[in-house]
Amino acid sequence: MSLYSQRGVSAQKEEVHQATEKLDQGLFPNAFCKIYPDYLGGDANWVNLMHADGAGTKSILAYLYWKETGDISVWKGIAQDAIVMNIDDLLCVGIHDNLLFSSTIDRNKRLIPGEVLSAIIAGTQDFFDELKGFGVNIHYLGGETADVGDVVRTIAVNGTMAARWPKNKLITNDRIIAGDVIVGFSSAGKTNYEKRYNSGIGSNGLTSARHDALHKFYGTAFPESFDTGLNEQVVYIGPNRMTDAVEVAGYGNSDIGHLLLSATRTYAPLLKVLLAEYFGDIHGLVHCSGGGQTKCLKYLPAPFRIIKDRLFEPPVVFDLLQQASGSDWREMYQVFNMGHRLELFTSEASAEKMIMAGKAFGIETQIIGRVEVSDKKELELVCPDGTIVNY
């Protein structure tokens, strides 16, 4: 049993898929999000979507950092995480503007004071204000904050978006074909719309990351920060304190806390441009969230072999996590994005302009793989040391 499973997390979410399989799966089965008829407008040429997601257990890292250092600003990142986990999924069906957002925050009032709520809620509006400068308009229509300390140990920060979108501007992944190349957009570094270095961690695999990286001290000092019913051998088994310094090549000193808490990068400013200028060339889009680099397997329109043999060198945060946990490549690439959170399927001829667009935003961009004919949906990853992993 993997560490991941022992901690009560399933990267593939089998039980969830089983529980939802009888529900209406929407109009486009291979699309990254479920897409429904235009109930709100009654127009056959439009569609409706709702999308829910959140910061998951990353909120615990913010809690620990805030408790240890008093730095309340980390909560703004949690607001961004909850938003980007929604919008970057929606980007993958082509939606990048005119969204409605509602937040759902469950807190333990005994531990999470009003100033933390204020930081999250103001941080939400601030992030929308920033996105507006890039032509990405998200309207904040309120939400619910509940005091439920008997349910929630610290705080759960979730959000939901609603959209109405023209059907002929959707990316459904149905145009992915053999021969396509896959353009990867780095999750790390510093885009020209970010204020500081982004570690690339995103908002997936954070249960593993926290327990693998952080020292037992956190379990003792903050028992509210983990499920006390877990086997002690999987709880906070790492070498680090949040404030331990880390050298990031090219970006100077950071600390473990900031690497783990780095707010999930959004690709919205980039996708706004790509979808406006090259819509017809975009055959498919995948957000490498839960399931990491294996996520693409769920959205292929036909039995293809995906070969990812030119992946990014994993950013330093993933090196640190792998050193700490001793996880093999198979698990690392299934739990974390390992270097890029967005991948775009296109023809070889169109790849260069996508790469140029990414670079224009300061996003490291490269062809990371390709699509081949096969008799089943399969994936081959070539890891940094040359190891080949098949899924």
**Residues in region 94-123 near a second copy by CB under 8 A:** 98, 100-104, 106, 108-111, 113-114, 117-118, 120-122
Q: What are the φ and ψ backbone dihedral angles of 382, each rounded to 5 degrees?
A: -105, 115
Q: Does 22 bind a second copy (CB under 8 A)?
A: yes
Q: Nearer to a second copy by C-beta: 331 or 364?
A: 331
Single residue of 132, 148, 303, 388 touching a second copy by CB under 8 A: 148
Single residue of 29, 73, 129, 146 touching a second copy by CB under 8 A: 146
Angle formed at CA 264 by CA 263 and CA 270, multiple of 5 degrees: 125
Q: Does 144 bind a second copy (CB under 8 A)?
A: yes
Q: Does 166 bind a second copy (CB under 8 A)?
A: no
Q: Does 73 bind a second copy (CB under 8 A)?
A: no
Q: Does 141 bind a second copy (CB under 8 A)?
A: yes
Q: Are strands 304-308 and 365-373 parallel, antiparallel or unpaired?
A: antiparallel
Q: How far is the CB of 91 from a second copy (least distance, A)?
A: 17
Report which residue type is found at 66. Answer: W
Q: Does 376 bind a second copy (CB under 8 A)?
A: no
Element (H, E) at 248: strand 245-248
Q: How far is the CB of 324 from a second copy (least distance, A)?
A: 17
- The rounded distance, in Å, linking the Cα atoms of 379 and 292 is 12
Which of the ranges 12-20, 167-175, 331-339, 360-368 carries the binding residues for a second copy, by CB under 8 A?
12-20
Q: How far is the CB of 359 from a second copy (least distance, A)?
A: 33
Please tell me the count of residues contacting a second copy according to CB under 8 A: 81
Q: How far is the CB of 98 from a second copy (least distance, A)?
A: 6
Which ranges constitute the DSSP H helices of 157-281?
206-213, 217-221, 256-261, 268-278
Q: Are strands 99-107 and 138-147 parallel, antiparallel or unpaired?
A: parallel
Q: Nearer to a second copy by C-beta: 218 or 304?
A: 218
Q: Taking Cα atoms as reference points, which of 182, 188, 192 lies closest to residue 359?
A: 192
Which of the ranges 4-12, 183-191, 308-316, 332-340 carries the binding residues for a second copy, by CB under 8 A?
4-12
In the sheet that 36-37 helps form, which strands lie side by side, from edge to edge? Answer: 36-37, 46-54, 155-166, 99-107, 138-147
Q: Nearer to a second copy by C-beta: 3 or 163?
A: 163
Determine the angle formed by the axes of helices 316-325 and 206-213, rounding to 10 degrees: 70
Q: Does 149 bind a second copy (CB under 8 A)?
A: yes
Sign of CA dihedral 129, 131, 135, 140: negative
Single residue of 158, 173, 254, 266 touching a second copy by CB under 8 A: 158
- The rounded distance, in Å, linking the Cα atoms of 283 and 229 is 45
Q: Taking Cα atoms as reference points, which of 379, 365, 355, 358 lies closest to residue 296?
A: 379
Coil/strand/helix, residue 376: coil
Q: Does 160 bind a second copy (CB under 8 A)?
A: yes
Single residue of 139, 196, 216, 359 touching a second copy by CB under 8 A: 139
Q: How far is the CB of 224 from a second copy (least distance, A)?
A: 7
Q: Does 163 bind a second copy (CB under 8 A)?
A: yes
Q: Nearer to a second copy by C-beta: 120 or 182?
A: 120
Residues numbered 25 to 64 that lie near a second copy (CB under 8 A) are 26, 34, 36, 39-41, 48-54, 56-57, 59-60
Q: Please, are residues 223 and 60 in contact by the beta-carbon 8 Å criterion?
A: no
Coil/strand/helix, residue 70: coil
Coil/strand/helix, residue 182: strand
Residues numbered 211 to 270 that lie near a second copy (CB under 8 A) are 224-227, 229-230
Q: What pairs with residue 53 in β-bridges?
A: 159
Q: How far is the CB of 103 from a second copy (least distance, A)?
A: 7
Coil/strand/helix, residue 239: coil
